[in-house]
Chain A
């Protein structure tokens, strides 16, 4: 049953404090039984910027995204998203914050009993009072954005891996989120398909003004997103080109190692790092 309009859904989208970061992690700790997952993790993400988490499998990268969404609670520390303390919120309150967030899961996590269109329009259809023709229009719009408009009535099982990821991106952006989280968006995809996903991330960030948090261990994709920018020319044609230095500086890399932050800095600083672990990872 649809019960709220898009505007009245959830908490105010404006940040609680002016110029406050969209995401703030402050000394966050998390352990499952004896196993430490995150230890004293502190970072922030500013509006419109990109934060890219790198690290080996099991380093705690995906856990950070789950903590941001409130799917997990930290043992200690503070997590603020859009100015709200998500680490202290109830599930009901979190639904409000989640309305302003989108998440692209590792394997897409599309609802396999729904069509592509139903997947993309799920949030608008189920959780808002948006009229059905409006929902359909928005679904077609976002599917057009990721180049899959003609697949609207197909089942997810009929799509390729790359197409499913793009549908997952379309679903995450359908309700116009302020913050998008990507969990290994290109893992398991061929280099050409990965580039199309990278381009979608860049387009969303630069054309829709979405703040991005990306978890990946695909260095090529991480650098592509950090060093490219999307724009439209005078004729309205989309163009993706190398970004100016100021734009490149808006993308931060964080290297996680055994649940702690091993490195934090720009793409240039990452490349220039002489740390042995970093060198091994980059080679």
Chain B
């Protein structure tokens, strides 16, 4: 390895470590800010509205068509074994354990992560964050904590909505295309689920919601370089949050399996 390449690698590693360190510091500050005063309750409610209710349409559409396409695809496969009535079991297991949490999180990464990075990034480059500090307000408590709490609370709720809509989408396809009676479909949905699966589907979105929002905030607050920098931050936030969602999903799933099973 040439000296230039070695230097480049060291510099890259230093930058990567600095990013991780700053991200961890932001997470710690956000957690501390969530349990101490001053606490901006009005901003938390506002963010619950923006992050939660604002994402409802995209989450409903994603959930519905995922459930529907799962029914279509699995119906064809199950037909090979004469197991078409079990389509509900397959959809419920896939949606509630994995697809519901992950797809909801990916949608939130695209919608919420980018929005937060762009908003905070714009505030950084126009000195609004400095103005907040000059006015005696801690930007972490005022801007980061409400968003983190909203993401943490709303991601599991949106996941439950996506799961419910997904199962409904699967039911519509099972009923109209696969000719599976409603009673058979819904009893199959219930039979395919264990309480551990439900817990797993509910616990995972808490972690995913937290990482999506904290990554959006971290990237936004480290924005520099004017409007170009804001655009760069927005892209980085979506890419980083999407990849980290899949990584965190794997490790949390691994952890929960070792706890529940």
Contact: A127 with B136, CB < 8 Å?
yes
Q: A1-B38, A1-B39, A107-B126 are in contact. Are A71 and B136 (CB under 8 A)?
A: no
Interface residues of B in 117-166 (CB under 8 A from A): 126-128, 130-131, 133-138, 142
Contact: A3 with B38, CB < 8 Å?
yes
20 more contacts with CB within 8 A, not counting A109-B131, A112-B128, are A3-B38, A9-B136, A10-B136, A69-B130, A69-B134, A71-B134, A102-B134, A105-B130, A105-B131, A105-B134, A107-B127, A109-B127, A109-B128, A109-B130, A110-B128, A111-B128, A123-B135, A127-B135, A127-B136, A171-B135
Q: Is B37 an interface residue (CB 8 A)?
A: yes
Question: Once bound together, how far apart are the Cα atoms of A111 and B131, in whole Å?
Answer: 9
Contact: B138 with A103, CB < 8 Å?
no
Q: Is B40 an interface residue (CB 8 A)?
A: yes
Interface residues of A in 104-123 (CB under 8 A from B): 105-107, 109-112, 122-123
Interface residues of B in 24-76 (CB under 8 A from A): 37-42
Contact: B138 with A91, CB < 8 Å?
yes
Nearest-neighbour CB distance to chain A for B151, whole angstroms, equals 19
Contact: B136 with A99, CB < 8 Å?
yes
Q: Is A256 an interface residue (CB 8 A)?
A: no
Q: Is A153 an interface residue (CB 8 A)?
A: no
Q: Is A255 an interface residue (CB 8 A)?
A: no
Q: A1-B41, A109-B126, A109-B128 are in contact. Are A126 and B137 (CB under 8 A)?
A: yes
Question: Once bound together, how far apart are the Cα atoms of A122 and B43, in whole Å?
Answer: 14
Question: Which chain B residues border A101 with CB–CB below 8 Å?
Answer: 134
Nearest-neighbour CB distance to chain A for B248, whole angstroms, equals 29
Question: Which chain B residues border A122 with CB–CB below 8 Å?
Answer: 135, 137
27 contacts between A and B (CB under 8 A): A1-B42, A3-B38, A69-B134, A71-B130, A71-B133, A91-B133, A92-B138, A95-B136, A98-B133, A99-B136, A103-B131, A103-B134, A106-B127, A107-B126, A107-B127, A109-B126, A109-B127, A109-B131, A110-B131, A111-B128, A111-B131, A122-B137, A123-B137, A126-B135, A126-B137, A126-B142, A127-B135
Question: Once bound together, how far apart are the Cα atoms of A112 and B39, in whole Å?
Answer: 22
Question: Once bound together, how far apart are the Cα atoms of A109 and B137, in whole Å?
Answer: 15
| Closest residue on chain A to residue B139 by CB atoms | A91
A residues with CB within 8 A of B? 1, 3, 9-10, 66, 69, 71, 91-92, 95-96, 98-99, 101-103, 105-107, 109-112, 122-123, 126-127, 171
Contact: B133 with A69, CB < 8 Å?
yes
Nearest-neighbour CB distance to chain B for A26, whole angstroms, equals 23
Question: Which chain A residues border B136 with CB–CB below 8 Å?
Answer: 9-10, 95-96, 98-99, 123, 127
Question: Once bound together, how far apart are the Cα atoms of A107 and B126, in whole Å?
Answer: 8
B residues with CB within 8 A of A? 37-42, 126-128, 130-131, 133-138, 142
| Closest residue on chain B to residue A103 by CB atoms | B134
**Which among B128, B131, B134, B142 has the highest number of chain A CB atoms within 10 Å?**
B134
Question: Once bound together, how far apart are the Cα atoms of A138 and B135, in whole Å?
Answer: 16
Contact: B127 with A105, CB < 8 Å?
yes
| Closest residue on chain B to residue A66 by CB atoms | B130
Nearest-neighbour CB distance to chain B for A183, whole angstroms, equals 9
Nearest-neighbour CB distance to chain A for B47, whole angstroms, equals 13
Question: Once bound together, how far apart are the Cα atoms of A123 and B38, in whole Å?
Answer: 13
Nearest-neighbour CB distance to chain B for A117, whole angstroms, equals 15
Question: Which chain B residues border A99 with CB–CB below 8 Å?
Answer: 136
Question: Which chain A residues border B142 with CB–CB below 8 Å?
Answer: 126
Question: Which chain B residues border A95 with CB–CB below 8 Å?
Answer: 136-138
Nearest-neighbour CB distance to chain A for B85, whole angstroms, equals 54
Question: Which chain A residues border B127 with CB–CB below 8 Å?
Answer: 105-107, 109
| Closest residue on chain A to residue B134 by CB atoms | A103
Question: Once bound together, how far apart are the Cα atoms of A71 and B40, in whole Å?
Answer: 22
Nearest-neighbour CB distance to chain A for B43, whole angstroms, equals 9
**Which among A9, A66, A69, A126 has the highest number of chain B CB atoms within 10 Å?**
A126
